């Protein structure tokens, strides 16, 4: 049973009943009128607590059903999402120079990124609304994730991606049977097209920034993180939660999950958020440093999942970082590339560029005194490295090519050691 009570506009404060509006506040429009799902936390405290969670056999994001805006459980697609591993990574912590470092491997979701948490909810809502088709615009992962969940649920999809999306992500879309428009333009242009097509054809809109339900799926990553800390590192919780930022939905969702765990009495102290962007696309960093409004910019970074020049969830993400007394940092593409083998070799986790950007972000934040060496950090590793093989190869170099002869190996490794 869900304790979802309705939606509240983050701009004007108007409240709506659960089925009164589906996307944004009609009074404020889609730029400002972002809605936030509300729950009856008083009653939730009785059903979500240490004892009930410990006794819950469901090891997926649906273990938090009372905290999700789902009315009809029968519409939940049968594709396992969530309860991804949380690792305590001491060698990575030593390398970075922090007290403790956790890695939450979101690449272990069914379509290999964090976006599955949002798509799962999107598909449930679309089924509840009896939608005939779902659409989204995406830098790649939201698209492949929607395609996967829509396939599991049997709903057709139409997807808009920018031409520069990595090939592996486009291959996923086609394999899952989505109708794919590869837009010869930026993600921002793909986004506008998708919005217009959704309005014109009545397709259900899975764009995270204007669909308030999706972020509710995203928040489950930190509900899990906090619950898992208690077993992975009893008594320790992160001082910082590190998230790479494009549109801003992921970090806003992460913050909502943390606040809810705190509200339910399951997290003693709220961590701070570190939002990580790329040097070539850092609208959040600029606005945060200069205390100014959002100024959309160009998107020039190899980390395609965070190449978002016009973030669509600016307010929620900025508020999250400010409320947490956190910070935004930007890192170079070279630092992002270096982080791919670093994370793989020190923690055994292979991430795509946006997935590992947090590792580079921690190094920047340590160098500038934002994070202290005595503090602990948790990285949300948002996407699997096989999503973008081109960047992986650039980061790790080539294999040693040999003729099939022992002599070649001896030449390469030197004299054998006598045993």
Ligand X SMILES: *Cc1c(COP(=O)(O)O)cnc(C)c1O
- Cβ at position 393, least distance to ligand X in Å: 18
164 touches, from ligand X, Zn ion, none (C-beta below 5 to 8 Å by class): none
Distance CA 308, CA 262 (A): 31
Q: Map residue 60 onto helix, strand or coil.
A: coil
Interface mask toward ligand X for 222-261; x: CB under 6 A: ----------------------xxxxxxx-----------
**226 near Zn ion (CB under 5 A):** no
Which of 294, 310, 295, 301 is CA-nearest to residue 280? 301
Residue (212 or 351) nearer to Zn ion, CB: 212
Show contacts with ligand X in window 91-150 (CB under 6 A): 113-115, 141
Among residues 1, 12, 99, 389, the one that binds Zn ion under rule CB under 5 A: 12
* Residue 308 structure tokens: 């978002």
Instruction: Please answer whether residues 30 and 312 qualify as being in contact, where contact means their C-beta atoms are separated by less than 8 angstroms.
Output: no
Number of residues that bind Zn ion (CB under 5 A): 8
Q: Are strands 179-183 and 327-331 parallel, antiparallel or unpaired?
A: unpaired
At residue 39, what are phi and psi to the nearest 5 degrees? -135, 165
- Cβ at position 325, least distance to Zn ion in Å: 27
DSSP3 helix / strand / coil % (the chain, rounded to 5): 45, 15, 40
**263 near Zn ion (CB under 5 A):** no
The CA-atom distances, in angstroms, between 387 and each of 219, 379, 383 are 23, 19, 7
Residue (25 or 242) nearer to ligand X, CB: 242
In the chain, the N- to C-terminal Cα span, in Å, equals 65
245 touches, from ligand X, Zn ion, none (C-beta below 5 to 8 Å by class): ligand X
Distance CA 170, CA 192 (A): 19
Interface mask toward ligand X for 316-355; x: CB under 6 A: ------------------------------------x-xx
Interhelix angle 333-347/389-396, nearest 10 degrees: 80
**186 near ligand X (CB under 6 A):** no
Instruction: Please answer whether residues 388 and 352 qualify as being in contact, where contact means their C-beta atoms are separated by less than 8 angstroms.
Output: yes
Interface mask toward ligand X for 272-311; x: CB under 6 A: ---------------------------------xx-x---
- Cβ at position 400, least distance to ligand X in Å: 31
Between CA 150 and CA 156, with CA 151 as vertex, the angle to 5 degrees is 65
H helix and E strand count, the chain: 17, 13
Among residues 5, 6, 16, 28, the one that binds Zn ion under rule CB under 5 A: 28
**388 near ligand X (CB under 6 A):** no
11 touches, from ligand X, Zn ion, none (C-beta below 5 to 8 Å by class): Zn ion
Q: Which residues are near Zn ion by CB under 5 A?
A: 9, 11-12, 14, 25, 27-28, 33
Q: Which residues are near ligand X by CB under 6 A?
A: 113-115, 141, 244-250, 305-306, 308, 352, 354-355, 382-383
């Amino acid at each position: 049973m869900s304790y979802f009570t309705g939606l509240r506009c983050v701009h004007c404060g108007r409240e709506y009943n659960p089925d009164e509006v589906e996307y944004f506040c009609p009074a404020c429009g889609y730029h400002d009128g972002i809605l936030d799902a509300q729950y009856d936390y008083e009653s939730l405290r009785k059903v979500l607590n240490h004892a009930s969670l410990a006794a819950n056999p469901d090891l997926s994001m649906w273990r938090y059903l009372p905290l999700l805006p789902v009315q009809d459980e029968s519409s939940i697609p049968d594709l396992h999402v969530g309860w991804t591993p949380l690792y305590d990574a001491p060698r990575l912590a030593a390398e970075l120079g922090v007290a403790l470092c956790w890695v939450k491997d979101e690449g272990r979701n069914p379509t290999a990124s964090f976006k599955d948490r949002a798509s799962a909810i999107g598909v449930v809502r679309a089924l509840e609304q009896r939608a005939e088709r779902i659409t989204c615009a995406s830098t790649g992962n939201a698209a492949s994730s929607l395609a996967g969940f829509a396939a599991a649920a049997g709903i057709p999809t139409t997807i808009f991606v920018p031409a520069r999306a990595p090939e592996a992500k486009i291959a996923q879309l086609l394999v899952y049977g989505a109708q794919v428009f590869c837009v010869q333009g930026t993600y921002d242009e793909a986004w506008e097209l998708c919005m217009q097509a959704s309005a014109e054809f009545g397709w259900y809109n899975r764009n995270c920034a204007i669909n308030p339900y999706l972020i509710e799926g995203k928040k489950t990553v930190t509900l899990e993180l906090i619950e898992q800390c208690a077993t992975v590192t009893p008594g320790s919780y992160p001082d910082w939660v590190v998230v790479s930022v494009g549109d801003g939905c992921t970090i806003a969702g992460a913050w909502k999950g943390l606040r809810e765990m705190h509200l339910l009495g399951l997290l003693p102290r709220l961590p701070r958020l570190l939002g990580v962007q790329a040097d070539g696309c850092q609208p959040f960093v600029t606005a945060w440093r200069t205390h100014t409004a959002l100024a959309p910019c160009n998107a020039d970074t190899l980390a395609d999942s965070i190449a978002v020049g016009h973030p669509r969830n600016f307010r929620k993400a900025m508020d999250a970082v400010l409320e947490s007394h956190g910070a935004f940092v930007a890192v170079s593409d070279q630092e992002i590339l270096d982080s791919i083998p670093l994370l793989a070799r020190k923690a055994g986790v292979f991430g795509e560029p946006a997935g590992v950007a947090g590792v580079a972000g921690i190094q920047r934040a340590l160098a500038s005194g934002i994070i202290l060496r005595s503090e602990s950090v948790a990285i949300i590793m948002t996407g699997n490295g096989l999503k973008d093989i081109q960047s992986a190869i650039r980061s790790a170099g080539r294999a040693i090519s040999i003729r099939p002869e022992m002599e070649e190996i001896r030449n390469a490794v030197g004299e054998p050691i006598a045993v």
